Amino acid sequence: MDTIISKTTRLMELLGHEEMPFGVYYSDVKPQDGFGPKPGEIFSRERETAGQINWGQAFSNFSCIMKNIWLARKKRRAAWISHEECGCMGGGFYSGVYGPYLEMNIFYVSTGVPGTPIEGEHYLPTPESMRHFMDDAAPPAATGKYCIIKPLDQFGPGETPLVITFFARPEVLNGLHSLACFSAGNHLAVVTPFSAACGSIIAWPLVYQQRGEERAVLGGFDLSARKFLKTDELTFSAPLPLYRKMLETMEDSALTRHTWKSVGKKVRKSMSAWGEKSED
């Protein structure tokens, strides 16, 4: 991990980016002083079928994993989610801590829940289209009790990230996109599938890796989660094998050539415009 962190610091220098990326991993040990949901409804297909889920309580105790990541970014701590402490039926599924998905999610994200006042988010046009998406985006099962997302430089001995996520605005994303394509030798190395914001950070990178497809995922287009990202900010998530390639090839990439220098000026202008750093 020391090598990954030191090379990540160099990548941030090339990009002109100041926020350490976050890593995703699984552990049976709950983070200390982290941000996560309180114990509440336990989501499972079996409990849903048996009518054992108290949906009123589930919605009233809702805890978005992106909100907890937002808090973790501010405080430089960890965010986490587990099956017993889930807070969101979608977040629990996309983080791999339970599966299969719930029927409630199918209707809630599409046209609404029949026989209830829940009108739905209308993010996909039909329950069938939502079901197809959920089948396609199902991540590998969690390999530990907790799915944890924390700054990469806080990973300790024996902790290895499965996915690395940058939170960035367009110019920095431009550099990451270019580097991913260069490293993979593939013009399709960066994809933008429909997703919940947490799904773009956790599920989709692992899904593509499981399929043997080398892909980084551009995310943050979830309307419900925009309030937990900075203005104009998106996410860029790469599975560890691709990220290692990015670190290994960055010195030979466009990030060290003259064209990037002009983009780098825009990185500094963007930071200055948002009051995050004085323009050079």
Prediction pTM value? 0.95
Q: How far is CA 246 from CA 183, 196, 216, 238, 243, in A?
A: 5, 25, 11, 9, 5
Q: In the chain, what's the furthest Cα-to-Cα distance?
A: 62
The per-residue pLDDT for 278 is: 53
CA distance 270 to 56: 43
DSSP code, position 35:
B
DSSP code, position 202:
I
CA distance 193 to 199: 10
Q: pLDDT confidence of 96, banded at 50, 70, 90?
A: very high
| Residue ranges of domains in the chain | 2-21+158-269
Q: pLDDT confidence of 279, banded at 50, 70, 90?
A: low
Which amino acid belongs to residue 65? I
Cβ–Cβ < 8 Å for 121, 224: yes
Among 126-135, 177-186, 261-270, which stretch is predicted with the lowest mean pLDDT? 261-270
The per-residue pLDDT for 184 is: 98
Q: pLDDT confidence of 1, banded at 50, 70, 90?
A: confident
pLDDT of residue 118 exceeding 70: yes
